[in-house]
Every structure is written in C-alpha cells, then in structure tokens.
Structure 1
C-alpha cells in the first residue's frame, strides 16, 4: 500500500513600493554581500501609462530594475543613458514623445542584445519588456514597437 502525504502551502505574499509603483508577487533576494537579484511577475506597476506622471513613475521603476540588474557594466551604462534621455524628455514641459520612444527602443535593443550575449538566470528582457509595453499608450506607438 502506498500512502502519499501532500502538504498544501499557499504561496507567500510579498509586496514592495518602488518609486510610487506597487510591486506584487516579487521575489527579492540577496547573496554574497553585493549580489542582488530581483525577480518580478507581469503585474509590476499595474495598469498602463496614460499620463505624463504615470510615464515618469514607470520610467523610474525601469531605472530601479536596471540599477539592480546583473548586466555587465558597459551594457548597463548604455541602457541607463538611453533611459535617462527618455526620462528627461518625459519630464519636460512639452515632451517630445517620438524622441522618448526612440530612446526607449534603443534601450530595448540593448536589453535584447544582452539576453543573447550573456548567460544569466535573470532574463532581463523578459522582465523589462512588460514595463516598456505599459508605456505604449502614452508614447502613442504600436504594440510591436519594442520587438
């Protein structure tokens, strides 16, 4: 006779507030003094950016993820420079959304290249793409713009 005992453990609930964006379902860990890993699900920064303020908040969330990413320093600096250009433009009085979109498309290219060139347990493009896609309504670009 085979007896199987199964225990039902509900998933733990974690949430954190990053620059005004609610993050839920995140797994955050730290190992070895200065190695940090952040893994999130698709619900980071709920909803989409329809306003300038929402776009700025979402860009700040993207920056936090990039700062904590395991990207090589050269690629991270390049990605952050494109993001900085988009953030500066988004925060301006009359933002040039085309310029911000082009900067973010270049950022997406860096992240896609990083996924192809480095082996890591962190799929940076898979984590960042949903955040970038939430900017599509504010930027006024098509759904496949970042692909």
Structure 2
C-alpha cells in the first residue's frame, strides 16, 4: 500500500487569490477510487497546512507520495499558512533539508503550485521524482494535471507515466495561458537516472534491483560528462518518443570534451570558491552580490554531497552568473569580473555536463 500525504494551503489574505483546492481534492479522491484494489492507497489530508503539519506528517505518516497544492513564489519558496491563516514562506533549502531526512521512504513529490520549479530542483537532490511548475499555472490546468497524474497511478503506471498523463490531460482540454501557450508545458519533472543491475534476475513476484549509475563497479574512462538528473519539459525527447501535453520531451544538454581533464569534487569546489572570492571583492551592487554568493553556496553544497547533484549545481551556478553577466552590461568594472569568471566557467563545463551557451558564453 502506498501512502499519499496531501497538503492544501490557501492563506486568507486580500492579495492572495483563492484556489479551487476542494475541487482538486475531490478529483484526486475520485481517481484513486478507480483502482482495482481500493486498498492500494492510503490518503492523509491536511487543510490549511502549516509548517508543523508538513514536518509531523512526513515523520509520522511516512508517505511515499507528497502532494502540495497552493501558492508558490519562486525564489521566496512555497507558501504555507500560519495559525491565523496568513502566509508562511518556506525556502527551497529548508524544504530540501526536511526531505533529506525523509528520503528513505518518500518516492515522489508533486508541487502543484505556481513557480515551484526552484523548490523541485532543491528537493530533487534527495528525492528521485519531483514535479514542479516552471511558471504560473491556471487553476483549471493544475486540477487537470492532478486528475491525469492520479488516474495513471490508479492504473498502476509509473511516476514518469503519471507525469506524462498529467500533462496530456491538460493538452486534451486545450488549456492555454494568457500568451496562448499550452499549459501542458508548465509542469516539469526532475527524475533520477537509474539502470538495472546486470546481476539482477527478474522474477514474477519481485521487482528488479536498481542502483544509481555512479554506484556501479569502476568502468573504463569515458571522455564525456553526463548530468546525473533529467529534466523533462517542452522540447525534443532523446532516445525515445513520448507523447504528453502535445510536445512533452526530455531535454538533456551533453557537453563533450575529450581534451579537457575531468575534474574531481575538490577541484570543482576550489573553482567555485575562486568565483566567490572574485564576487566578494567586486564593486557590483550589494543586492546582486549577496544573491550571487547565496547561489554559489548552493553549488558547493550540491557538489560536496555523497552523490553530487550536477543538475542542481548547474542551475544554481546559472542563477549566480546571471546576476554577474547582467552587471557586466551596465557596470564598467563588472566587465573585467565577467571575463575572469568566464574562464573559470569554461573549466567547469565538462563536470557539469552542459554546453557553453548554458551560461551565455
């Protein structure tokens, strides 16, 4: 039996638009009732979810699936509620830290909230499947995604299939945003890459044993670097054809460099520290400087984990360098800073597994 924890938050403030959370929950319950065995899922629901509810239910319910429905605010985090039903912002790093402590049983996290991709990236450092939204999402689209997602789980499909069917549910309804783009492109999946152990013997009554690619026995040296995680969104799918949300795809930038020496973690951290020092000594505005330093700290943290999350490191470094590149366009002294940082970024490309244009080089 899989346990699902559903957290619903909609602070009662004048500037916070109401959400149809009751309708979404009703649709989720209806979808799960369609399972052949109605005992396949156990649902725990927390309305007006507070930080305490999130922590306590993760610890005591030990859910395999965590579903949050409510508001997101990008860099500021997800929005839960206080005792008086006011906004309570929860940062990406705080969420990542909590899920790290629950990674032994949480399998999938669905953040059905606007601008929640940043939180999805952070949580994905510890959880294999995390879904977030890369921009604002209409209430109707969020509900359709939930319907498709849980219809798939009720039918015994995988988390990845559930994501695709969620996107497809939006596409089938023809829901578009104010720019005329399909809302099916808004949900994004952060997925860990797994392969089957070659020694595994498949039996009818058991699942194959899975191991992460970097835990296999030593392999011959490879002259390219691949990111450890996959982000699925709009674009072109690599290696297989998928149909969800019209143009569902798997985007994976691979940077090949046979001439470059592959960096180790210590060398990566040293290079990030060099960027950090240059930023601290620069004369760019303090606000941009502090934001860049915060993102650089996230890069080092991701790089020094037991299993470095290069996808998260690359995204954080991209955000840090965005502030620096913008400064170089308007501040004369920042131009030299950007030139110095560019040479360091070039050295990091093979380890991160991204192409130069990822940083606008």
One of 118, 129, 135 as aligned partner of 2:348:
135
Residue of structure 2 in register with 1:102 after alignment: 315
Work out the number of aligned pairs and report it: 101
2:300 counterpart of 1:87: yes
Deviation, 1:97, is 0.2
Say if 1:49 and 1:55, in contact at 8 Å, map to a contact too.
Answer: no
Residues 117 and 49 of structure 1: CA distance in aligned 2, closer, same or farther (over 3 Å): farther
Say if 2:282 and 2:334, in contact at 8 Å, map to a contact too.
Answer: no
Residue of structure 2 in register with 1:114 after alignment: 327
CA distance in 1, matches of 2:341, 2:355: 17
Residues 49 and 76 of structure 1: CA distance in aligned 2, closer, same or farther (over 3 Å): farther
CA distance in 1, matches of 2:326, 2:306: 33
Residues 76 and 121 of structure 1: CA distance in aligned 2, closer, same or farther (over 3 Å): closer
CA distance in 1, matches of 2:282, 2:262: 23
One of 47, 54, 58 as aligned partner of 2:271:
58
Say if 2:324 and 2:334, in contact at 8 Å, map to a contact too.
Answer: no
Higher normalized contact order (CA 8 Å, seq sep 6+, divided by chain length) = 1
Residues 48 and 69 of structure 1: CA distance in aligned 2, closer, same or farther (over 3 Å): farther
Deviation, 1:120, is 2.8
Q: What root-mean-square deviation, in Å, do the aligned CA atoms of Structure 1 and Structure 2 show?
A: 1.8
One of 116, 125, 128 as aligned partner of 2:338:
125
- Residues 21-73 of structure 1: CA deviation (Å, up to 9, x unaligned): xxxxxxxxxxxxxxxxxxxxxxxxxx766211110111111111111111111
Residues 143 and 48 of structure 1: CA distance in aligned 2, closer, same or farther (over 3 Å): farther
**TM-score, normalised relative to structure 2:** 0.27
Residue of structure 1 in register with 2:129 after alignment: none
* Secondary structure at the counterpart of residue 332 of structure 2: coil
Residues 57 and 118 of structure 1: CA distance in aligned 2, closer, same or farther (over 3 Å): same
Deviation, 1:144, is 2.2
Superposition pairs of residues 1-80 of structure 1, within 5 angstroms: 50-80=263-293
- Answer with 1 or 2: which has the greater Rg: 2
Say if 1:136 and 1:142, in contact at 8 Å, map to a contact too.
Answer: yes
CA distance in 1, matches of 2:298, 2:334: 28
Residues 94 and 69 of structure 1: CA distance in aligned 2, closer, same or farther (over 3 Å): same
Say if 2:283 and 2:334, in contact at 8 Å, map to a contact too.
Answer: no
Residue of structure 1 in register with 2:357 after alignment: 144
Deviation, 1:124, is 1.9
Residues 87 and 123 of structure 1: CA distance in aligned 2, closer, same or farther (over 3 Å): same
Runs (4+) off by over 3 Å: none
* Runs of at least 5 residues in structure 2 that lack an aligned partner in the other structure: 1-259
CA distance in 2, matches of 1:77, 1:98: 22
Deviation, 1:105, is 0.8
- Residues 89-117 of structure 1: CA deviation (Å, up to 9, x unaligned): 11111111000001111111111111123
CA distance in 2, matches of 1:52, 1:112: 25
